[in-house]
Amino acid sequence: MLTSQLPPGPLHVPTLTLLDSRTILVEWSRPSQVNGVLEFYSVFLSHGDGGAAAALVHNSSELLEEHTLRDLTPGTLYTVTLAACTGGGCTVSPPGRAQTEESTPENVPAPRVTPLSPNALNVSWTAPGTPNGVITSYGLWLDGALILNSSSSLGFFVVEGLSAWSQHVVRLQACTARGCGKGPMVEMRTLQAAPEGPILLELTNQSSRSLRARWTAPPRPNGNLSYTLYCMSEGGVGVLDGGAEAGSWLSVTDLQPHTNYIFWIRGCNTPGCVESLPLNVTTPPAAPDGLSPPTLVHRTRTSLNVSWSAPAHTNAPGPLRYSLQMRTSPQRPVIRLLENATATFSHHVAGLSPYTQYMFRVGASHTYGRALGPWAAMLTAEDSPGPVDSPAVSRLHPRGVTITWAPPSQPNGIIIHYTLHLSPAFSSSSGSKPSSVSSISSTLNSSSGRNPSRLPGTEGANLTSSPDLGSTSSLTPRGVSLISMSTVPTGSNDSSSAIQRTTPDFPQNPSSSSGPGIADDDQIEATGVSASGQGPASNPPHPTGPSTPSHSPVAGFFSTASDSRSSRLSVTVPGNATSYTFLDLPPYQTYSLQLPLKGSLHLTFTLTPPPRCSCPGVDQSGAMAHWSGPWVNVTTRPSRPAGLSPPRVKVLGPESLQVTWSPPLIPNGEIHGYEIRLPEARISHGGADASDLNVTITDVTPYTNYSITVLACSNGGGHVGGCTESLPTPATTFPTIPEGLEPLSVVAVSESFLAISWEPPSRPNGPNVRYKLLRRKTHQPLAIAAVPRVTAASPPPSEDLHRWLRVYSGTKLFYQDKGLSRFTSYHYQLVVDNDVGSSSGRIVTAVTMAGVPRHPPSVSARAVNHTAVRVTWTQPSLQDLQGEVESYFLTITSARSSQILAFPPEITSTVISDLWPSTTYLLSAQVSNGAHNTTKATVNVTTEDGEPDGISAPEVVPVNGSAVRVLWFPPLRPNGAVTGYYIYLNGRLHGSVDNSSGSYLLGDLLPFTVYNVQVEVCTVYACARSNITQTTTVEDLPAELATPHAHVINPRILVTRTQT
């Protein structure tokens, strides 16, 4: 039995040895009375004589009797105490004191420099951040010269006698007994003062509108100067920024030629300014400027009076000479109207064209140059317009005619409106032949119905009717008319009158009747004709009756009237229009046009087919009109057929129809084809022969209602007329047996329950659809396996095996088949009936669910290596599983992870890799029969030992100049039992310890030497080595110092040589 421990006995004062200005070696001796087991030593350090709080700087259980204090502050007094501790307490030694050697100061701060005046700076400073001793003096450097070296405690100094706005570099110096240290440099300027001395200004002319100026800086600027250049003339004083630099040229622009200017320069800083003497300068003369454009005084149709004024600036002495120029456009040459006139400020220009724009400008010149003013545009007065070219027929619609014309080549003003005259044609004694005929084609959509819309260019048009101009020929049918046109310029007194007309008797427009196939929009081709001939003279309009309301400007003209005599109709349209359309004409007719070369345009057209006559030289296919000009026939484009009757349909069978139809009553062109619509299916028929208008259609759906129509299309003259669809004819195909049966859908619900559903047939093909569901058993493995072995050769047959049974009959689309055998295969077939017959669907196989397993499988496992194990299991019998194997499930569980693997029925063994070494795993096996899982069969297996992992670099603690201690932690994952630790020094094995230790003392080392240390950890399987840790042994006193060699040179010089 041992007595309890006490604190150690008294300790001696530790021995302090100064190694350098920043290092102290602390040494002590073991206490004379330990009073127990000495556990550790502690070293405490404080600044000064021990009054400050002591800090623990060393605490070690290695019981070494020395410690080196590093990174101390030079020139500082330190107090060191030692504590020795046992299990009963600690004993503290008396303090030992030592002062480190002084050094040069460090972290000398930058001085604070403040300008007091233009001639003085105030410099202040603080003590260095690291004095490294006692500061004996401070020095102040100014521009590289020491101006102060004082031991005074004052922290400021005033530097006087400096120049205004002078820059200086100030630096602080602090000194101890071992040397001096300097801080960073500070740049500072003195305050500014007013500039002193003259500024010399120099001016040089560049041109008549610019000059250059430069100046010198004052001898004593006393600060940052900014220069301003002043310019004075009769218009006032101008200011120009000269910047902060002197001696460079500055351009002064925008001056006025032949003008006196006064310039002076001013240089300023914050306290004051200084100016130069003023300089007078006169700019050279130049050409005049400030010419205004000429103005219009008076104008007529052929002349202009132009005036102008003198330029704003003559820019030179002497008289001015004027010139006047004219041009008709910027691309035309300039015409000189007046040259070198001195006292003239207006000019009359004659011989001009009416309502034409002319451009004028004035020039002014003298001895020193010439200037031209801007162009001014002027317009002569308006005059009557020139002749109008003959209009042309641009578009001929099924129900209208469009004429176009070009504005007069010489409008001589702004055209206000055009007047078009529609008048009856005169008969001719003999027919005329076409001459100078040119054809043009255009395409557009015509207006339709009884309410046609006004086409572009007809808004604002007025119609007036007038008496007939003469009698027509006996060969001219009713409704033949002529069109003429005249223009009215600006200033005309003619005005548009209201619509007043007396019309000839015309038949009703056939387009007003409605019915299938009547086209609303037709495309036609028009032919414009230019011919020579003299038209009839026009009589003044004479209203014959009140205006009649109409939807078209010429609708009343083509309506039925009691007056059989022809009338003259006038139309007024705006001056910006170049076309006009007469509407409400009958479609698909032939028209005759007559066009004179000059003057009025005459248009002749026929509204209804005229009666045929046997007259020489007359075209019997269309309208006739006798006129002195040429005639040409124009045929409108074909339109949609009309009067198409519904087709006749005969049902031939469940999948065929015969369609017969008749041609349209009004073809409106050449019928080029038919299309039979059901309506989704469309069959084309290209024959136009009336005897071949029938089609037999096959592949139609049985017992289906069809709505059958016929589409007839016309064309003619290379153009498409359109298509018309007839009214529908209903027809129903005959019924037949159902078709389009989809496969059954069977879902296993339980061991004895199957749910069957189906879709209706895609083609029932008849009425009263009914369903029958048939079933037969094909395989029952559990019943066979349950038979005893002695009678397995002849098992009793099931009464419904391979026999078809009807399990359902009705109209529903599903059936729930219950009371079936467990894990048994069945065949199902659907039969669909209607009033005609029945159809059978495809046979579908279904299996009821398996039962609950009775026994789990057996499983075994063994370790393959340190990262893999092999697992083997058995397949349960059919009776044990109550079904067949669908899949195996293997669960691998450890303290670190868990995973589940699935395998197909044919796999009964596997190797599981990527496991952790030296780890115990719990393996669980389950079998699934599709409906249920067996209970788990478990087994434990442990992987073999592997290579250690997670080895950290060792920690190395220097002990003295010849030894270090290596410390390490066990690996994070040993992956087995650790057999030992091996310490490597510079790549070579130095020693080893067992797995119970975590430290190792490396001895026999060299002082102040770098070593590489590694620790290797080993298991039975393999070894792993840590990263390298570099360490340096502690310094020691030099050894083996050689004897110096001395050589006498003279009585006062001795040379000594030593070897390291």
Q: What is the pLDDT of residues 114-154, one digit of tens each?
A: 999 999 999 999 999 888 888 889 999 999 999 999 888 78
Q: Is residue 386 part of a domain?
A: no
Torsion of CA 1038, 1042, 1047, 1053, to 10 degrees: 10
Q: Is residue 597 part of a domain?
A: yes
613 and 489 part of one domain: yes
CA atoms of 943 and 920, how far apart (whole Å)? 7
C-alpha count within 13 angstroms, C-beta hemisphere, residue 75:
17
Residue 887 belongs to domain with CATH number? 2.60.40.10
36 and 185 part of one domain: no
CA atoms of 357 and 344, how far apart (whole Å)? 24
Torsion of CA 999, 1003, 1007, 1011, to 10 degrees: -60
pLDDT at position 551: 35
Which residue ranges of the chain lie beneath pLDDT 70? 50, 396-400, 421-569, 584-635, 687-690, 785-799, 1060
Q: Decide which of 908, 942, 976 is a domain's last residue.
A: 942
Angle at 1033 between CA 1030 and CA 1038, to 5 degrees: 145
788 and 870 part of one domain: no
- Indicate the number of domains in the chain: 8
406-438: pLDDT as tens digits:
888 888 888 888 777 655 444 333 333 333 333
534 and 581 part of one domain: yes
828 and 923 part of one domain: no
For residue 400, count CB atoms less than 10 angstroms from its CB and return exposed for 0-12, middle for 13-18, buried for 19 or more: buried
pLDDT at position 261: 93
C-alpha count within 13 angstroms, C-beta hemisphere, residue 747:
7
DSSP state of 343: S
pLDDT at position 798: 61
pLDDT at position 15: 93
C-alpha count within 13 angstroms, C-beta hemisphere, residue 398:
27
443 and 373 part of one domain: no
Q: Which two tokens stand for residue 843?
A: 């046979």
Q: Scanning the structure block, which residue is given the tokens 């007065």?
A: 381
95 and 227 part of one domain: no
pTM of the model: 0.38
834-852: pLDDT as tens digits:
999 999 999 999 999 998 8
Backbone angles phi, psi at 860, to 5 degrees: -140, 155
208: CB partners within 8 A, 6+ apart: 255, 257, 258, 283, 284, 285, 286, 315
Q: Decide which of 357, 379, 401 is a domain's last residue.
A: 379
794: CB partners within 8 A, 6+ apart: none
Domain that holds residue 94: 15-99
CA atoms of 42 and 56, how far apart (whole Å)? 7
pLDDT at position 633: 57
Helix (H) or strand (E) holding 466: strand 462-467
89 and 117 part of one domain: no
Q: Is residue 954 part of a domain?
A: no
Q: Is residue 1043 part of a domain?
A: no
Q: Is residue 961 part of a domain?
A: no
Q: Which two tokens stand for residue 848?
A: 């009821």
CA 495 vs CA 21, 417, 489, 547, 574: distances in Å: 124, 9, 11, 17, 11
Q: Is residue 40 part of a domain?
A: yes
534 and 406 part of one domain: yes
pLDDT at position 471: 34
pLDDT at position 361: 95
Provide the total of helices (H) and of strands (E) in the chain, helices listed first.
2, 74
Per DSSP (E only), the strands in 834-985 are 838-840, 844-847, 859-863, 869-873, 887-893, 898-903, 909-912, 920-928, 937-942, 955-960, 963-967, 980-985
Angle at 366 between CA 362 and CA 367, to 5 degrees: 150
pLDDT at position 585: 59
Q: Is residue 305 part of a domain?
A: yes
pLDDT at position 838: 92
396 and 357 part of one domain: no
256 and 360 part of one domain: no
pLDDT at position 112: 94
CA 503 vs CA 452, 557, 586: distances in Å: 20, 5, 16
511 and 577 part of one domain: yes
Q: Is residue 982 part of a domain?
A: no
Q: Decide which of 822, 847, 872 is a domain's last residue.
A: 847
pLDDT at position 538: 36
497: CB partners within 8 A, 6+ apart: 462, 464, 541, 543, 570, 572
Backbone angles phi, psi at 245, to 5 degrees: -110, 145
